[in-house]
Structure 1
Amino acid sequence: MASTESRFARMSRRAAITGAAMAAMALAACNGAKTAAEGDMAQGAPEGAKVTVYEYASVTCPHCALWQKNTWPAFKAKYVDTNKVRYVFRELPTPPVDAATAGFLVARCAGPDKYFDVVHQLMATQQEMITSTPRDWLLRTAQAAGLSEDQFNKCVTDKDAVAAMEKRVQFARSQGVTGTPAFYVNDVQVVSPGGEGASLADLSAAIDAALAK
């Protein structure tokens, strides 16, 4: 177990260092969230939909968790479940970057059919990251999704998976995204006052206008 945990720690430190380096990069001007990215996770309307809503978020971001709790249910019911829009979730780990990175790796290891369940569960239980340990929090979530502890250990130390995550983070940075949660309706960023993320009212205004074109 000690060797596995040490590998996890090394991978975590690598992820944290990489995240910090990317955050310090000179950011390119936003060249359109609509650009497809490898590894996009989506719900709702199929690819090529008239309107796509992009959310950049992190499982360790408190504001993302609040949006998930307070706005996602109504947004999902109004636009995703009805296939009015394609909703694309993009991973952008925030501090603690090692825990966020591992959380997204667990979501992907759980499989496409469980990905959003894992992401939503991690956001809903963020406090456990503080009251226990990040590893215990992640392991509990992984086991609830059907992964064994051995599968969990292999998942969060998978070099190829970490490298793929780094590419997704680099893509987000290249789009000019610097914080989470960040929302785009096609190419237009939607920003609401406060730190919780785009409100349903502001998202609806942008979505309905785009649908009407």
Structure 2
Amino acid sequence: MPLVRRTVLALPALLATPALAQGTDPRLGERGIGKPDAPVTVTEFFSLTCSHCAAFHRDIFPKVKAELVDKGAIRMVWRDFPLDQLALAAACVARNLPPERYEGFIGALLSNQDRWAFTRGDPREELAKMAALAGMSRAKYDEAIGDEALKRAILAERLTAEKQYNVSATPSFSFKGRGAPVNQSGNMAFERFQQLVEEAKRG
């Protein structure tokens, strides 16, 4: 999915003041599944309002999880790369949930994208309903989407991804095994995903 220009234009203003330090706020810690010592780590850069990210999660990720994560071949790590203000708000909500609820929540958001992100009503109200189903109170939800420091921290990580991994679209993946990381943008078939895992494993 192409970058949304209004978000790019908003970045300087949102990053004008210091962001949270990743090492001091547990909400900014790594979110992932799979064995920490798996031979390959796959990092997905995703936006919760990206239809291509939703398609990957719906059509490809279940097999990735069953065939690669659960069998110890890879560790899957998620990195926020919000493309618009709504995706940024959703990322803040997800980061405010306990780490053990993170995968289930982003999975629910991606699987039900039409229900909240593209609703005819107020998407933030629909997001609040999704957060409530995950056990978040309305007061905590309001606090999460109003947390400017957390927003700046997430956007700072997005800028890092742009510079370090040359991410310019979502979903994007970085496959890190024995050698240098191999980066791939766009949704892909499971067979291509598995091929990149094997290449990263061999180094």
Q: Which TM-score applies when normalising by structure 1?
A: 0.76
Q: Indicate whether 1:190 and 2:193 are aligned.
A: no
Q: What CA distance in whole angstroms lies between the structure 2 residues aligned with 1:190 and 1:168?
A: 18
- Match of residue 130, structure 1, among 118, 122, 141: 118
Q: What CA distance in whole angstroms lies between the structure 2 residues aligned with 1:150 and 1:73?
A: 33
- Match of residue 67, structure 1, among 51, 56, 62: 56
Structure 1: give runs of 5+ residues left out of the alignment. 1-15, 24-37
Q: What CA distance in whole angstroms lies between the structure 2 residues aligned with 1:178 and 1:145?
A: 30
| Secondary structure class of the residue paired with 1:146 | coil
Q: What CA distance in whole angstroms lies between the structure 2 residues aligned with 1:71 and 1:102?
A: 25
Specify whether residues 60 and 91 from structure 1 end up closer, same or farther in structure 2 by C-alpha distance, changes over 3 A only: same
Q: Mean alpha-carbon deviation: is it higher for 61-70 or for 201-210?
A: 201-210
Cα deviation for residue 52 of structure 1 reads 1.0
Amino acid at match of 1:98: Q
Q: What CA distance in whole angstroms lies between the structure 2 residues aligned with 1:80 and 1:102?
A: 28
Cα deviation for residue 17 of structure 1 reads 6.0
Cα deviation for residue 184 of structure 1 reads 2.0
Aligned pairs for 1:148-167 (under 5 A) are 148-167=137-156
Q: What CA distance in whole angstroms lies between the structure 2 residues aligned with 1:183 and 1:199?
A: 13
| Secondary structure class of the residue paired with 2:200 | helix
Amino acid at match of 1:45: K
Q: What CA distance in whole angstroms lies between the structure 2 residues aligned with 1:148 and 1:21?
A: 29
Q: Which residue does the alignment assign to 1:4?
A: none
- Match of residue 115, structure 1, among 81, 89, 102: 102
Q: Which TM-score applies when normalising by structure 2?
A: 0.79
- Match of residue 81, structure 1, among 70, 78, 81: 70
Q: Where in structure 1 do 4 or more consecutive aligned residues deviate above 4 Å?
A: none
Structure 2: give runs of 5+ residues left out of the alignment. 13-27
